[in-house]
């Protein structure tokens, strides 16, 4: 039976959903939690699945871009004006509404790739085994609603 760990970050981020028929098409924000769940069949030489520090190292800067930002579909007619006005604080999602499901997948994909790059470094202070698995990334939109993406 495998072991699992979870590391959680909190960010304040907004989005607007162009395709939504109601209020969510307007800019609005969420206090989000982002959870990263990793799994291994056995513990490593330090008796861990993975040091929590690794998750922080590979994701902290990436998640910073989402903090106090607005995620917007690039097809939204307001996207260009928002991007011109607020620059890097506007995160464009090409031709797709940045729902919590879509955001969870984007974060998962980045995390999986970043963790693989980290594991490939031969001189890491916190070694990561190739057998380590990303189980899922869960993004909470409110304290009662979340979406997750898993491999």
Kindly report the CATH number assigned to the domain that includes residue 14.
3.30.479.10
pLDDT value, residue 122: 87
Mean pLDDT score, 96-117: 98
Q: Domain of 106?
A: 3-149
Domain count, the chain: 1
Mean pLDDT score, 31-35: 98
pLDDT at 124 over 90: no
Sequence-distant (≥ 6) Cβ neighbours of residue 138 within 8 angstroms: 33, 34, 35, 37, 104, 146, 147, 148
pLDDT value, residue 149: 98
pLDDT value, residue 151: 82
Closest by CA to 103, choosing from 4, 11, 5, is: 11
CA distance linking residue 33 with residue 140, whole number of Å: 5
Residues 100, 66 contacting (CB under 8 angstroms): no
pTM of the model: 0.96
Mean pLDDT score, 59-72: 97
For the chain, give the percent of residues with pLDDT over 70: 100
Q: What is the mean pLDDT of the chain?
A: 96
pLDDT at 136 over 90: yes
């Amino acid at each position: 039976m495998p072991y699992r760990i979870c590391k959680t970050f909190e960010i304040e981020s907004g989005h607007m959903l162009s395709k939504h028929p109601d209020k969510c098409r307007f800019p609005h924000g969420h206090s989000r939690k982002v959870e990263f769940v990793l799994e291994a069949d056995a513990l490593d030489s330090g008796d861990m699945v993975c040091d929590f520090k690794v998750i922080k190292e590979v994701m902290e800067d990436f998640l910073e871009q989402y903090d106090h930002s607005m995620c917007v579909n690039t097809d939204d007619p307001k996207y260009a004006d928002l991007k011109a006005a607020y620059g890097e604080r506007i995160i464009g999602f090409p031709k797709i509404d940045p729902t919590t499901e879509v955001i969870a997948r984007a974060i998962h994909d980045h995390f999986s790739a970043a963790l693989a790059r980290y594991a490939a470094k031969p001189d890491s202070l916190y070694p990561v085994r190739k057998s380590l698995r990303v189980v899922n990334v869960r993004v909470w939109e409110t304290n009662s609603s979340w979406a997750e993406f898993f491999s």
